[in-house]
Structure 1
Amino acid sequence: MTGAAPADADISRAILEASSDALGLALLVCGRDDTIIYASASIQQFFPVPARMLVPGTRLRDFLGAVYDTGVRPGTVPEASRRRANRDDWIAEHMALHWRERYENIERAGRTRWLSLRKRRLSSGIGILAVSDVSEQKKRDEKLQTDLERVELTEAILDAQPNPICVKDRNLNYIAVNKAFCTIHDLTADAILGRSAWDLVDAELAERFEQSDRQVLETGRSHAEAEHIVRSDGSDLWVVTRKYRVGMPGRHFVVTCMSDVTDIAVWYHGTEETGAAAGLQIRDYDIFTPAQNFYDPFRALNVQQLVEAGSMIETLPARGLRVLLATADRQMEEHFVARLRGSGLDACAVRNAEELDAFARAAERRGLKLDILLVDASLAQTGGIASWQACPVLPVARDMDATALLTEIFRICADRRPEQAPLPQPDWGISFDDDGAAADNAPAVEVLVAEDNQINQFVFAQILEGLDVSHRIAADGREAVELWHELQPGLVLMDVSMPIMNGFEAAAAIREAEKRTGRRVPIVAVTAQALDIDLQQCRASGMDDHIMKPVSPDMIEAVLRKYLPARHMRDARLLNSASS
């Protein structure tokens, strides 16, 4: 049986050879006694063994030994590894694989070649081995895996960037966004990808965005623009937006990166008048063109707080309550003072017993009465607390719920003065310096708001009270003109769409009346849109500036900083005197 195939292996060699050529395979057929019945000529393309090892009747063990000796064998480990299987073990392992009913695997054969091995053992005992070269497919798979890993790494790097970044295709649909970009929209990446700016922002802004996008795509020139964005939580984001074209011809993309310059835009430390070292400032906010405003005042309202404390807020003179917080905890100070001011109380803080004593002397000298003193546990044992027995002292803790604290303050004050009329708008105006300081000749009402919508009136009131700004609200244009004559405010925030007399007519009436007084009050338009016709009407009616709805605390504070500099100089002097 050395030169002929077994009797039970009646196979047409011509058919096998044609089949292996057509399929691009190399075939090796063995009998039940582990001798070769048939070997296609293409076997030597994969295993460069001597031709005598492929003739029918050759033992399978001898064939495997010849394959091992060539050094090009399936299962060869990379050269970097020190592990080497000896010849007998390798032959025994592969003899066992040939007797499996079914075996499939992709194995390395040398440094750069990969082979697909498919082995079948028929019920008659005949074993068939099919070998094919899958090196190119393996390279493509490895390249695909490398590309996927590179994409994942790129996405991780983009998500780690603090600046919002997005990528658009030639149809100007979003194909990549990072976490910072999703955050300003308050949307997930899945809710943004595949959509366009028209699905996310107002129509006029989407048109402006796409105009610059297409210019970048067509010309390849980068685009830069300073923009003012209001995040979904109501906070301001001042950015310098830059757009670039990337990719190959016919497959260009637009990459947009928004460089956050908020710290530069809002960081104010010292003033030129006081001679303090002034930080980097932006004095002209007009360089920032209006971008999208994601702030929703309805979502920002604390409905549970209104339900729990609403009745007390309505019946108590909350805006006349003076509250002092004594704590050395800066985070507690920032949290509670901001919360108290946002609810209409007049609140400030001292940080140690010395400041508390100085505040008591200054208050007594000015004739000011405190409604309630909030004391942190760390200062509760100091001797300075005894001098405040004339007003209630309420202990507070860092983990205390702000709504519960407000409710307790209102309850205590209601019990103490149920018949007392609301106090006038308070003015702490206290310097810890014994000599005192003269109050500025500020207007009786700093801001006049003309707004007919009740929800927007509430939002304006909450923001201005939180900023400790005295204000009045007019429900229509005619009332706004009448209150301007009566109060002579320092700033007017004028809604352009109101009944009886709209904002344009009211602004024109105020400008006409100012011709007789020689005084000019800044008027800022409040508009739901920033169309060119609205801005032209604003300028024609005498308005100085405009902001877009919905408004946010940072937006209003920026307007106050720009048009009420006297107020901010006064605040700076009080802050400096308090810290000295």
Structure 2
Amino acid sequence: MSDVASGGADINRIILESSCDALGLALLVCGRDDTILFASPSILQFFPVPARLLTPGTRLRDFLGAVYDTGVRPGTLPENSRRRANREDWIAEHMALHWRERYESVERAGRTRWVSLRKRRLSSGIGILSVTDVSEQKKRDEQLQTDLERVELTEEILDAQPNPICVKDRNLNYIAVNKAFCTIHELSQEAILGRSAWDLVDAELAERFEQSDRSVLETGKPHSEAEHIVRADGSDLWVVTRKYRIGMPGRHFVVTCMNDVTDIAAWYHGTGDNTGSSGLQILDYSIFAPAQNFYDPFRALNVQQLVEAGSMIETLPARGLRVLLATGDRGAEERLVARLRGSGLDACAVRNSNELQAFALAAERSGVKLDILVLDGAFRDVERVLAGWHASPVLKISDGIDAGNLLAEIFRVCAERPQPRSSLSQADWGISFEGDVAPGTHAPEIEVLVAEDNQINQFVFAQILEGLGVSHRIAANGREAVELWHELQPALVLMDISMPVMNGFDAAVAIRDAEKGTGRRTPIIAVTAQALDIDLRQCEASGMDDHIMKPVSPDMIEAVLRKYMPAGNMRAAG
């Protein structure tokens, strides 16, 4: 019987050792009395202990002590570290881990080696430890993290460049574009990436672009050309476009950089002519090849009709007029303010008398002069406002007024009663209402403040919140979000982490600093397109309470509202 048992045990041992070699792992099996029942020879590849300590019957404590003495053990600190693990404490800690029902960890074993430890304690009391070398996987993970950070940094650098930049692959599809490039097309990055010039510009121009791109890809010779572009808003852009080839053989890319020379280019063609005018000027526009015209005439159709009719738009300095719209209709506010801004006017809106009073006080203190107050006829206390407003001309409008007619009326009123202009720039419109409201008057609260710079995402948020019956306001950047938070005191903030002027992290910090000593805390939910660990840690460090991922959905938003805005605290929208 003993011979049969011995032969069976040898077969089991051979099978276990062969399995360990095939799987690339080391195996250690212990009994209920913490003695070694089986140890694969590959254990010595991870822990260079004397081979006699792997024989069956050896105490697990002795094996762990020998591992500690080698200095090559999981969790070992670098040699230059001042902190040293106590031998008995280390052994006791790992003895306790061996008695856990299930334990897994990835730990450092030496300076450059990482091992994966998996421990199981069976119901019979037998403990199993498997050890796998994961150094290469760890290196790949670290390299991937480094690559992701490098890509993110590269994107930030590209977006920070004032000149439009794009990158195309060998198929001449866009694989990277910066914000300046998106601006001239008035498209988002998502709408451009993966497409070609044939999808964005006229066929004749797309063919010309493709010819120069192919030439750069095949020859590696840079291409340079002066071009005239009409932006989506109708303004002219004079650029010198340069194209370069980058990358390795077989993986070449074309980088296009459009250097803006609108304000500084001077072309004399060696004539030496001096016109006597001050400053630099373009004397020969013919050297600029026609590029794409992104201006949509239908977007400004009403204004164009007024110009052709000989209205005062031709003679009035429309750009820069400061217009304040007072209306309680959010639909009219969004429609008219966007239209006025698109026509070159500096426009903003207030929704009630308290906001109007606060704006007037803040404008007076800041030295900002209004050109006109546009007053909705359905505005509450309209007669009192008409009687008491003296800061600028007042234009009373009816419900549903056409934006083009409103522009004509604004120009007519401003022409009839010209106002002295302030020397302040457009940036001075960023008036903060913090502390400017008289005691006892407060701007009405809203339920959700959304901070989002992408217009498509703004529309999505607005549709979802309106569908849920939740009152809301949208801020286009972090600084505006902080100002609206001071003004409106919302019950919840949905904060995009990547925005211009001030990002979501800095905006959250500013809100948390302002809350100190007030006894209140507004829930701030980060909205991010990527859930990298570094983003989540930064969200927590900046004071955010939670995060959601783009693209957002009604179910996602409703879950956030239920979690952070109890039903008893929510008001009806509108």
Q: TM-score, normalised by structure 1?
A: 0.53
Local SS of the residue matching 1:264: coil
Kindly indicate whether residue 55 of structure 2 is the aligned counterpart of residue 55 of structure 1.
yes
Q: 1:178 to 1:256 in 2, by over 3 A?
A: same
Local SS of the residue matching 2:232: coil
C-alpha distance in structure 1 between counterparts of 2:415 and 2:126, whole Å: 100
Shift of 1:144: 1.4
| Alpha carbons 1:377, 1:395 under 8 Å: kept | no
Local SS of the residue matching 1:12: helix
Output one character per residue of 1:215-259: Cα deviation in whole Å (capped at 9) or x when no partner: 011111000000111111111111111111111111111111111
Local SS of the residue matching 2:263: helix
> Which residue number in structure 2 is paired with residue 155 of structure 1?
155
> Which residue number in structure 1 is paired with residue 18 of structure 2?
18
| Alpha carbons 2:323, 2:370 under 8 Å: kept | no
C-alpha distance in structure 1 between counterparts of 2:293 and 2:33, whole Å: 82
| Alpha carbons 1:32, 1:125 under 8 Å: kept | yes
Q: 1:258 to 1:63 in 2, by over 3 A?
A: same
| Alpha carbons 2:312, 2:412 under 8 Å: kept | no
How many aligned positions are there? 342
Q: 1:145 to 1:318 in 2, by over 3 A?
A: closer
| Alpha carbons 1:332, 1:398 under 8 Å: kept | no
Unpaired runs of 5+ residues, structure 1, are 344-374, 379-393, 417-580
> Which residue number in structure 1 is paired with residue 113 of structure 2?
113
| Alpha carbons 2:312, 2:411 under 8 Å: kept | no
> Which residue number in structure 2 is paired with residue 192 of structure 1?
192
C-alpha distance in structure 2 between counterparts of 1:156 and 1:224, whole Å: 26
Local SS of the residue matching 1:77: coil
Q: 2:409 aligns with which of 396, 407, 413?
A: 407
C-alpha distance in structure 1 between counterparts of 2:290 and 2:71, whole Å: 71
C-alpha distance in structure 1 between counterparts of 2:43 and 2:415, whole Å: 98
Shift of 1:398: 10
| Alpha carbons 2:393, 2:413 under 8 Å: kept | no
Shift of 1:49: 0.7
Q: 5 Å matches for 1:307-318?
A: 318=311
Q: 5 Å matches for 1:153-192?
A: 153-192=153-192
Unpaired runs of 5+ residues, structure 2, are 268-272, 325-339, 345-367, 372-388, 397-402, 418-574
| Alpha carbons 1:99, 1:127 under 8 Å: kept | yes
Q: TM-score, normalised by structure 2?
A: 0.53
Q: After the TM superposition, list the runs of 4 or more consecutive aligned residues in structure 1 that deviate by more than 6 angstroms.
A: 320-325, 375-378, 398-405, 411-414
| Alpha carbons 2:313, 2:411 under 8 Å: kept | no
| Alpha carbons 2:240, 2:261 under 8 Å: kept | yes
Shift of 1:46: 0.4
C-alpha distance in structure 2 between counterparts of 1:26 and 1:13, whole Å: 13
Local SS of the residue matching 2:264: helix
Structure of larger gyration radius: 1
C-alpha distance in structure 2 between counterparts of 1:208 and 1:245, whole Å: 17
> Which residue number in structure 2 is paired with residue 242 of structure 1?
242
> Which residue number in structure 1 is paired with residue 91 of structure 2?
91
Shift of 1:406: 5.4
Letter in 2 for 1:407: E
Kindly indicate whether residue 107 of structure 2 is the aligned counterpart of residue 125 of structure 1.
no
| Alpha carbons 1:231, 1:294 under 8 Å: kept | yes
Q: 1:122 to 1:290 in 2, by over 3 A?
A: same
Local SS of the residue matching 2:216: helix
Output one character per residue of 1:436-468: Cα deviation in whole Å (capped at 9) or x when no partner: xxxxxxxxxxxxxxxxxxxxxxxxxxxxxxxxx
Q: 1:83 to 1:376 in 2, by over 3 A?
A: closer
C-alpha distance in structure 1 between counterparts of 2:150 and 2:284, whole Å: 43
Letter in 2 for 1:130: S
Output one character per residue of 1:321-361: Cα deviation in whole Å (capped at 9) or x when no partner: 99899xxxx955899xxx9xx99xxxxxxxxxxxxxxxxxx
Kindly indicate whether residue 180 of structure 2 is the aligned counterpart of residue 202 of structure 1.
no
Letter in 2 for 1:98: H
Kindly indicate whether residue 303 of structure 2 is the aligned counterpart of residue 296 of structure 1.
no
> Which residue number in structure 1 is paired with residue 227 of structure 2?
227
Shift of 1:320: 11
Q: Calculate the aligned-residue CA RMSD, in Å.
A: 4.1
C-alpha distance in structure 2 between counterparts of 1:322 and 1:288, whole Å: 29
C-alpha distance in structure 1 between counterparts of 2:122 and 2:313, whole Å: 97
C-alpha distance in structure 2 between counterparts of 1:411 and 1:197, whole Å: 45
Kindly indicate whether residue 224 of structure 2 is the aligned counterpart of residue 215 of structure 1.
no
Q: 1:34 to 1:397 in 2, by over 3 A?
A: farther
| Alpha carbons 2:264, 2:280 under 8 Å: kept | yes
C-alpha distance in structure 1 between counterparts of 2:233 and 2:56, whole Å: 81
Shift of 1:77: 2.8
C-alpha distance in structure 2 between counterparts of 1:150 and 1:320, whole Å: 50
Shift of 1:399: 11
Shift of 1:377: 8.5
| Alpha carbons 1:233, 1:300 under 8 Å: kept | no
C-alpha distance in structure 1 between counterparts of 2:90 and 2:264, whole Å: 70
| Alpha carbons 1:28, 1:39 under 8 Å: kept | yes
Shift of 1:179: 1.0
